[in-house]
Amino acid sequence: MAETTKKPLKDRFAEVAGKFAATRFVRAIMDAGYSVISFSIVGAFFLILTVLPQVIRVDGFISFYANTIGRFTDLFQSVYNATMGIIALVFSGTFAFSYTKIYRDEEQINLVPMNGLMMFLMGFFITVAQLVWKDGRMQFLQSITKTKMIVGGYQASTAGIYRIGAVGIFVGLVIAWLTVQIYRYTVKHNWQIKMPDSVPAGVANSFSALIPAFCVAVVVAAINGALVLAGTDMFNLLFIPFSFISNIADTWWGFLIIVFLIHFLWWFGIHGATIISSFTTPIVLANMADNAQRGGQHFFAGDPTNSFITIGGSGAMLGVAIWLVLRARSTQLKELGKVEIVPAIFNINEPLIFGLPIVYNINLMIPFICAPLASGIVAYLGIASHLVPVIRVQQPWPTPVGLGGFIATTSWQGGVLSIVCAIVAFLVWYPFIKHYDNVLLKQEKEGATATAE
């Protein structure tokens, strides 16, 4: 009988997940996610300036604020609108740029990333204006009510132009993907104007993008026009599946599934946060904007994992790092704790994931998955019960425990909840890490005895 060469299930699963993480779409999504971090932090700073009276509820401070900083709240809001208010452009535009660049480098075709970005912007703005079929012709929607103002097809408020904010991320991704595919197809089939070599590169690139840009405009306009004739448009059509997925992620069980998947993938050595966030980033950004601008009550917004769940890094291991330094008896864990303690304060724990190790270590799989689930339940209950305000700010992910929760919710309650979540996570970890320490200590003693003999 021939010897089987079939790989173990865990190896096959890791291989499939690894291939997915390496796909062009996911890599471009991750680049887009990184691009919005600085924008969201800048916007968050100015948002905090506008909500200070809600955070510091002291009569003297509120009066001082109204007569000083409070005079400039509209200016602060304009800065916020220039960051989070255009987040769909930043996120989807970076995706289009990166996606074009990846195809250019890996397929060795003459794509210009900046052309991909600019064509996306054109295609996206074709869909931003709201159109209706009325009196036998297509017209810009006009509607002014107490709660909404749409003039010339564009809905605007003090929060900026509605559809280019977080609500437009999902549509933006679709348009960006479609734009790059059309651009790639036209170039591969030589549908472009080629200029002589003597023509400057900038001029040549602009002409080479003419036919692809025309194709993008025709396709996007045709799709959007057909939807308007059907009584809807791309935003309204995609809002249905997007809101459905968002509503699921916002439930306690949907959120826990997300936390579980992140850590289940990590156990196989796959960066679970990278894969899962490629799906969830548009949702948390849209929910955070709704919380900040329209009084939404979404739990799954901004960066709930680094604020309350994975404090100390994936697996919620800040308490573990502290325990290793103070109480571990085995040399291996004590030395590992000395290396990890500082990074863990800033939510970095790769030394523990690969040093304990966590990967493929069945002894630590249960606490690695269950500790963040436990802290996730505590965080969800704290916010869902309104004891802690919802997340309105995306804090930098390395922000230490307590401070991260405070910034995210702009409240002291958020800081306390963050610390409570870290303690709960360690209580789950404690019996497992203590047992593992005893096992390693026994092995070290046996090794020392064998060496002496």
Residues 263-306: tens digit of each pLDDT: 888 887 666 776 787 678 778 888 888 888 777 889 998 888 88
Predicted pLDDT at 324:
93
Local structure of 168: helix, strand or coil: helix
Predicted pLDDT at 317:
92
144-161 average pLDDT score: 80
Q: Which two tokens stand for residue 237?
A: 């059509």
Cβ-contact 172, 36 below 8 angstroms: no
- Delimit the domains of the chain by residue range: 13-245, 250-442
Q: How does residue 3 score in pLDDT terms, banded at 50, 70 and 90?
A: very low
Q: Which two tokens stand for residue 28?
A: 């471009």
Q: How does residue 2 score in pLDDT terms, banded at 50, 70 and 90?
A: very low
Q: What angle do CA 67, 70, 74 make, to 5 degrees?
A: 140
Q: What angle do CA 217, 222, 228 make, to 5 degrees?
A: 125
Q: Which two tokens stand for residue 433?
A: 């890490």
Average pLDDT, the chain: 85
Residue 201 above 70 pLDDT? no
Residue 10 above 80 pLDDT? no
Q: Of the given ranges (71-85, 190-204, 339-353), which has the lowest mean pLDDT?
A: 190-204
What is the chain's percent helix, strand, coil content, to nearest 5? 70, 5, 25
Cβ-contact 275, 265 below 8 angstroms: yes
Residues 337-346: tens digit of each pLDDT: 888 888 888 8
Predicted pLDDT at 287:
86
Residues 121-138: tens digit of each pLDDT: 999 999 999 999 988 899
Q: How far apart are CA 442 and CA 452, in angstroms?
A: 15
Q: Of the given ranges (68-72, 100-104, 117-121, 278-282), which has the lowest mean pLDDT?
A: 278-282
Can you give the pTM of this predicted structure?
A: 0.72
Exposed/middle/buried for residue 158 (C-beta within 10 Å: 0-12, 13-18, 19+): exposed
Residues 15-32: tens digit of each pLDDT: 776 677 778 888 888 788
